[in-house]
C-alpha cells in the first residue's frame, strides 16, 4: 500500500510504498486488548500488603464477656470487625505479570498501525531533524493537522525532539524500537518519520510477520534409531 509523505510545512510531497504486513492488515482487536491488559498488568508492582489476625500485634483476649451484657458478642482487638483491627481477605504481595507470546505482541502492534493508517490517523513525515524548541515543534504539529494528542515516532532516540515536546501536553515521542500498544492507544494520531516507517518494517514486517519458532533438532541418537527402524 501507499502512504502520503509530508514535509515540515504539512504539504504533501509524494507517496511511499509500505509493507502491507505492517500497515495494511485486518486489525485483530482481541489481540490488541490482550496485549494492552498484559502491558498494564506487568507495570503493577504488586507490593500492596495488609495485616491478618496472625500478624496483628494486639491482645488476643475478649474485650468483654460473652454473655450477660445484652450486647453483641465481641472478640479480641485484632478482629476485622473492630476499628484498627486486622483486614480480612486483604491484598498481599504478589506478581501480576502476564506472559504474552512474541508473535501476539507483534500482531498487536501491526494491528494498531494498520488501523491508524486505515482511518487516516497515521502521518508520515519527511526528515528527522527537529529544533529543540517547544514553539517550533508546536508549529510543526499544527501544520501537520494535529489537534488533540499525538505520538511522534523516530527511527532512533532524538534528544532535540524530546526537549521540544516535553512542555506540550498530550504530545509524546519515542523511537520505533520501543513502540508499544499502550502508546498507540493513548494518542489520537501517530506521526512517524520515513526512517521510522522503514525501521518498523524491519522489526515487524517481511518474514518476521509470520515467522514461527523453528522446531528443535532431534538428538543424534534419536536420528540414528529412526534410520535403523
Share of the chain above pLDDT 90, in %: 70
Rounded CA-CA distance 137/171 in Å is 10
Q: What is the pLDDT of residues 171-190, one digit of tens each?
A: 999 999 999 999 999 999 99
Going by the DSSP 8-state scheme, the letter that residue 134 receives in this structure is H
Confidence label for 223 from pLDDT (cuts 50, 70 and 90) = low
pLDDT at residue 185, as a whole number: 96
Mean pLDDT of the chain: 89
Closest to 22 measured CA to CA, from 214, 213, 196: 196
What are φ and ψ of residue 31, in 5° steps?
A: -70, -35
pLDDT at residue 222, as a whole number: 52
What does the pLDDT average to over 71-83? 87
Cα 126 to its chain centre, rounded Å, is: 26
Rounded CA-CA distance 11/4 in Å is 10
- List the 189-193 sheet strands across, edge first: 12-17, 2-6, 122-125, 189-193, 150-154, 171-175
Confidence label for 229 from pLDDT (cuts 50, 70 and 90) = very low
Say which range, 53-67, 154-168, 209-223, has the weakest mean pLDDT: 209-223
Structure-block grid coordinates of residue 209: 510477520
| pTM to 2 decimal places | 0.80
Q: Which residues pair with 3 in a beta bridge?
A: 16
219: left (phi over 0), alpha (psi -120 to 50) or beta: beta
Amino acid at each position: 500500500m501507499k502512504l502520503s509523505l509530508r514535509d515540515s510545512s504539512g504539504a504533501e510531497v509524494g507517496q511511499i510504498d509500505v509493507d502491507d504486513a505492517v500497515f495494511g492488515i485486518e486489525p485483530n482487536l482481541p489481540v490488541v486488548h490482550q496485549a494492552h491488559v498484559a502491558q498494564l498488568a506487568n507495570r503493577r508492582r504488586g507490593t500492596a500488603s495488609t495485616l491478618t489476625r496472625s500478624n496483628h500485634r494486639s491482645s488476643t483476649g475478649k474485650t468483654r464477656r460473652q454473655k450477660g451484657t445484652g450486647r453483641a458478642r465481641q472478640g479480641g482487638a485484632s478482629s476485622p470487625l473492630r476499628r484498627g483491627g486486622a483486614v480480612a481477605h486483604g491484598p498481599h504481595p504478589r506478581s501480576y505479570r502476564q506472559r504474552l507470546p512474541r508473535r501476539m505482541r507483534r500482531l498487536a502492534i501491526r494491528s494498531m498501525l494498520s488501523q491508524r493508517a486505515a482511518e487516516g490517523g497515521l502521518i508520515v513525515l519527511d526528515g528527522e531533524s527537529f529544533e529543540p524548541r517547544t514553539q517550533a515543534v508546536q508549529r510543526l504539529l499544527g501544520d501537520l493537522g494535529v489537534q488533540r494528542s499525538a505520538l511522534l515516532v523516530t527511527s532512533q532516540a532524538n534528544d532535540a525532539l524530546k526537549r521540544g515536546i516535553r512542555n506540550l501536553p498530550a504530545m509524546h515521542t519515542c523511537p520505533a524500537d520501543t513502540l508499544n500498544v499502550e502508546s498507540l492507544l493513548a494518542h489520537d494520531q501517530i506521526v512517524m518519520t520515513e526512517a521510522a516507517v522503514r525501521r518498523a518494517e524491519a522489526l515487524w514486517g517481511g518474514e518476521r510477520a509470520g515467522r514461527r519458532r523453528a522446531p528443535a533438532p532431534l538428538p543424534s541418537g534419536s536420528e540414528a534409531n529412526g534410520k535403523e527402524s
